[in-house]
Amino acid sequence: MTYVLEELRRTPVRAPWIFGGGIALLTIALVAGYGLWVLAAAIVIPTAVAILLRPQVGVIIFSALLPFDGLVRSLGPGWAAPWKQIIILGLLVATFVCPASARAAQKRRYPQWVFVFAALLGLGLISAVFQDRNTALVGLRLSYFSAVLGYVVWRCPLGRRERDWIVTVFMVMGAVTAVVGLWQQAVGHEYLHSLGYAYDDNIRFTTGLTLRSFSTFDLPFAFGFYLMLTILIGLPMALAEPGRLRNRLFFLSLPLLSVALLFSFVRGAMLGLAVGLLYLAFHRYKILVYGIPLVLLAAIFIPSGTNVSTAVFSSSSFQDRTLSWGDRVDRFAENPFGTGIGTTGAAAEKAAKLNFTDPDATYVPDNSWLKVMFEMGVFGVWIFVVMLVSILIATRTAERRSHGIDRDFINGVTAQLLAIMMAAIVATYFELSPMDPLFWLMISIVATMAPEIAPGAPVAGEAARSLGHAETT
C-alpha cells in the first residue's frame, strides 16, 4: 500500500484525460440521476487520497469537524455517533500506509510524560477487570481513547505550516461557533426545542431562567471551553504577526468571542481563561497587562441585579459543588483504592443506560481531579497529577528552547494547559467532547516539536530579535 501511494505521488497527472473522463462520468451520472453521489465521491475520494498521502491533512480536517460533534450527537442519526472514533482509527491506519516522507524519523525519544500516562493506563486496565463489561468499556473509551490521536500526531508530525493551519481552524471555528451561540440567545429556547434539542440536556438555564448558549456543541460547557482554548492559542500567534490579515480579523473577533463566552455561563472557562491570560501577560506578552483594566471596566458595566450578572458572579454553584465533594470524601476514606474505572461522571451515566439502570442515580463530581480519585484511588490521582505536571514541565522546556513563531505557538499551548488544569477543578473536563481529543492533539504537537529543538539553543537574544514587537510590548 505504501509503495502504491509513493507511485501515485510521483506519477505525473495527465490533465486532459482526467478532465475529459470526469466530464463524461458526470454527464452519465446526471442523466442517470446520481449527481449527488458523484459530487460526494468528488469530495471524498480526493480527500481520502490526500489523507493517505499525508495523514496530517486528516488531522487538520478532523480538528475543524470536532466543534460540530454536538450537532451529530443531538440531531444526527444514532449510527453516526461514533464518527470521531472511526476517523481517529482511520488516521492511525493511514500513518502505517502513508509514504515514508510523511512519517517522522524512526528513532526518537518519547517525552517523559508518556511513561506516566502508560502507568495511568495500566492502572485503568487493571481496574476494568473488576467492572462489568459495559462500565469497563465506556470508562476506558472516555478516559483513554483520545490518546490515540496523540499517537497519530507523534507518528506523523505536523510541519510549521500545518501547525499554523491548526491555529487558523481554532480562529475560524471559534468565530463561527460564537455567532451560532449568540444566535441561540436571539431565537430562544422554544425555537431550539422545536429543532430537536432536548431540555435538561442540550437546553439548560442558569439563574433567572437565562438560556445558556451551547452553539454547535451538545452542552454549554464544551462551548465555553472551546472559546477559552481559541482565545489562548490565537492571541500569542496574532501578537507575533499583527499585520497578517488572519490575525487582524481575529483581533476584531475578540469582543464576539468574549460575549459568546459570557452567555455560555461556564465560569470554569472564564476562570481558566483568566489564568491563561495572566500567564501570557506576565510571562511574555506585556501588552496584555493593559487589557486587565478593560476587563474590570467591562465587568463593572454588566448591569447589577440582572440575570446575567447574577449568573456570572453568583457563588451558589461552587458552594453546591464543594458540599457535594465534602459529602463524598468520607467514602473515599472507606475505599482508598477507588470504585473502579467508569463508575462516576458521564461514563457512569452511559454505562447505566447500557445496563438498563437509572442514570440519574450516578454521581457526576464536576471535578476531573476528584473523578480520578474516586475511580482510581490514591495511586490513580497521584499518577494523574504527576502526568499533568510532567506535560507542563515538558511544554515549558520546549518553550524556553524554541524561538520565533514556534515559541509563540508553544506559549499558547502552555496557556491552554494551565487553563485546563484550573478548569478541571470545577468540571469533568476530560469527559467533554471535543475537549479531550483537542487536549491530546495540542500537547502531542508540542511533543513532536521538542526533538527539533536542540538542547541549549539560544533563547533570550535570538528569540527577542526574531519576535521584535512581541518582546518589546
Between 328 and 430, the more confident residue is: 430
What pLDDT was estimated at residue 335? 73
Angstrom distance (rounded) from CA 148 to CA 226: 21
CA-wise closest residue to 428 among 371, 348, 359, 352: 371
DSSP state of 205: E
Mean pLDDT over the full length of the chain: 83
Is pLDDT above 50 for 46? yes
How many CA atoms are closer than 13 Å to the CA of 305, on its beta-carbon side? 0
What pLDDT was estimated at residue 86? 94
Angstrom distance (rounded) from CA 235 to CA 419: 14
Which grid cell sits at 262? 459570557
Please state the separation of Cα 281 from the chain's center in Å: 23
The secondary structure element, H or E, covering residue 433 is: none
What pLDDT was estimated at residue 114? 95
Please state the separation of Cα 421 from the chain's center in Å: 14
> How many other C-beta atoms are found inside a 10 Å radius of the C-beta of residue 316?
9
Which amino acid belongs to residue 256? Answer: L
Angstrom distance (rounded) from CA 407 to CA 413: 10
Angstrom distance (rounded) from CA 349 to CA 25: 49
**462-471: per-residue pLDDT in tens?**
434 333 333 3
Q: Are 381 and 372 in contact (CB under 8 A)?
A: yes
CA-wise closest residue to 437 among 66, 56, 60, 65: 66
What pLDDT was estimated at residue 472? 38
CA-wise closest residue to 388 among 400, 372, 375, 401: 372
Which amino acid belongs to residue 162? Answer: E
Is pLDDT above 70 for 347? yes
Least confident of 69-78, 246-255, 436-445: 69-78
Cis peptide before 293 (omega within 30 of 0): no
Q: Are 240 and 251 in contact (CB under 8 A)?
A: no
The secondary structure element, H or E, covering residue 60 is: helix 55-65
What pLDDT was estimated at residue 285? 85
Label residue 215 by pLDDT band (50, 70, 90). Answer: very high
Between 284 and 232, the more confident residue is: 232
- Per DSSP (E only), the strands in 303-384 are none
Least confident of 38-42, 96-100, 159-163, 210-214: 38-42
Which grid cell sits at 142? 472516555
Q: What is the CA radius of gyration of the chain?
A: 24
**236-258: per-residue pLDDT in tens?**
999 999 999 999 999 999 999 99
What pLDDT was estimated at residue 358? 80
Angstrom distance (rounded) from CA 396 to CA 446: 10
Q: Phi then psi for 211, rounded to 5 degrees?
A: -65, 135
Least confident of 161-175, 318-332, 427-441: 318-332
Which grid cell sits at 348? 457512569
What pLDDT was estimated at residue 116? 96
Between 321 and 428, the more confident residue is: 428
| pLDDT-above-90 percentage for the chain | 52
Q: Are 25 and 38 in contact (CB under 8 A)?
A: yes
**373-398: per-residue pLDDT in tens?**
889 988 999 999 999 999 999 999 99
What pLDDT was estimated at residue 320? 59
Is pLDDT above 50 for 92? yes
* SS3 at position 157: coil
Label residue 173 by pLDDT band (50, 70, 90). Answer: very high
pTM of the model: 0.86
Angstrom distance (rounded) from CA 463 to CA 440: 27
Cα dihedral 353, 356, 359, 365 sign: negative
Label residue 322 by pLDDT band (50, 70, 90). Answer: low
